């Protein structure tokens, strides 16, 4: 497979096509509109379904319908558009239908701007719709991961009958990098539970309504058991230069990418810093974070928001070490120098610096 120069939005859209996406429904919104444009061309070429809906509300309900029919389906949008989809996402969770959503985040709240941000963490990871539901959330940090995690998202959605979200940001959607696309997969078979017409089989029912409280409680218990299985099997993260680190940086997506440059700079000065990058934001890498908190002097959480994932870090760490936060809002990306300054401050406050020198063996 050859390396191609691809824009992030085009990369995830083409990855979805090659993963067997059979139906795409969306509405244009910057900074992810190139994905919609790519799907408008590619899906009809392959005899698949593309619809530009009249709104994001319509798009997510079209996704719901196609998912109930058992086809691989997806939508993509950006922050204000995703906010409009929350009711539909809750209905889909309550119906246990699989689908993929790509959220290319931009600055907010409100209409905000079209610059890259990470302000949708709480909305997506904690479930912005109503009820006790979860979605698998994957956070890429480069164009190749935009591709790979999109393919994985479809597989996980089908495996667990769950909505799976690719949570990116405007910089990842707009940047161009060399990446490799997977081969074109055949379309998947319709699962037994899908609404395909009840000929020669019993009627299937896809619904989120359980009017009897005891019945709804049993269904919620079933969902929680499924979520526990996902937490046991689908945690993903990257560790970068943590073997001897005294300051642990926790960041995801673009913020983690910038943090790596800052870590390289402070290490040249003797500050032993390293990075824990959650790739699955749910399920969250809690065990890895607890283990890191046991061996570093302090943690610094870096985000492109006013502080959202930091709440999860503090919850998991439970006061084992100090947790500091550095963030930029308004669609302003943090610069490596700013993160490096924050690491230095955390290291100074915690008395953490260069790793202790190892004794040298002397030959007599």
Structure confidence by residue, pLDDT tens digits, 30-65: 999 999 999 999 999 999 999 999 999 999 999 999
pLDDT tens digit sequence for 242-301: 999 999 999 999 999 999 999 999 999 999 999 999 999 999 999 999 999 999 999 999
Token pair belonging to 61 = 């309900």
Report pLDDT for 354: 54
Report pLDDT for 364: 33
Q: What is the pTM of this model?
A: 0.95
Pairwise CA distance, residues 14 & 19, whole Å:
9
pLDDT band at 359 (very low <50, low <70, confident <90, very high): very low
Angle, CA 296 vertex, CA 292 and CA 297 arms, to 5°: 140
pLDDT tens digit sequence for 72-81: 999 999 999 9
Rounded mean pLDDT of the chain?
95
Domains of the chain, first to last: 4-192+209-233 (3.40.50.970), 238-350 (3.40.50.920)
pLDDT tens digit sequence for 285-299: 999 999 999 999 999
Within 8 A by CB and 6+ apart from 196, the residues are 69, 70, 190, 204
Which H/E stretch holds residue 134? none
* Residues β-bridged to residue 26: 52
Report pLDDT for 342: 98
The residue-averaged pLDDT of 226-230 equals 98
Q: Count the helix, strand and coil residues of the chain and give each as a percent rounded to the nearest 5.
A: 40, 20, 40
């Amino acid at each position: 497979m050859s390396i191609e120069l691809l824009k992030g939005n085009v990369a995830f859209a083409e990855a979805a096509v090659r993963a067997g996406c059979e139906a795409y429904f969306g509405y244009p919104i910057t900074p992810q509109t190139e994905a919609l444009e790519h799907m408008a061309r590619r899906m009809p070429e392959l005899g698949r379904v593309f619809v530009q809906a009249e709104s994001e509300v319509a798009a997510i309900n079209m996704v719901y319908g196609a998912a109930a029919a058992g086809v691989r389906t997806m939508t993509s949008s950006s922050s204000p558009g995703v906010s409009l989809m929350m009711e539909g996402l809750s209905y889909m969770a309550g119906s246990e239908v699989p689908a993929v959503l790509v959220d290319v985040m931009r600055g907010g709240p409100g209409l905000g701007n079209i610059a890259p941000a990470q302000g949708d963490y709480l909305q997506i990871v904690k479930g912005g719709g109503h009820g006790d539901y979860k979605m698998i959330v994957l956070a890429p940090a480069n164009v190749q991961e935009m591709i790979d995690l999109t393919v994985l998202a479809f597989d996980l959605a089908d495996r667990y009958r769950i909505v799976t979200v690719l949570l990116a940001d405007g910089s990842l959607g707009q940047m161009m990098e060399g990446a490799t696309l997977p081969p074109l997969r055949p379309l998947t078979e319709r699962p037994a539970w899908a609404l395909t017409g009840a000929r020669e089989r019993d009627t299937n029912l896809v619904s989120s309504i359980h009017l009897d409280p005891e019945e709804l409680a049993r269904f919620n218990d079933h969902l929680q058991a499924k979520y526990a299985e996902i937490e046991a099997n689908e945690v993903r993260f990257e560790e970068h230069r943590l073997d001897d680190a005294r300051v642990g940086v926790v960041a995801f997506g673009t913020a983690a990418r910038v943090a790596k440059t800052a870590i390289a700079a402070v290490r040249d000065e003797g500050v032993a810093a390293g990075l824990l990058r959650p790739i699955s934001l749910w399920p969250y890498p809690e065990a890895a974070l607890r283990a890191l908190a046991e061996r570093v002097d302090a943690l610094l959480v870096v985000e492109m928001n006013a502080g959202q994932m930091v709440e999860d870090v503090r919850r998991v760490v439970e006061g084992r070490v100090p947790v500091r936060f550095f963030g930029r809002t308004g669609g302003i990306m943090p610069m490596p120098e700013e993160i490096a300054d924050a690491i230095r401050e955390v290291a100074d406050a915690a008395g953490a610096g260069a790793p202790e020198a190892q004794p040298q063996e002397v030959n007599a």
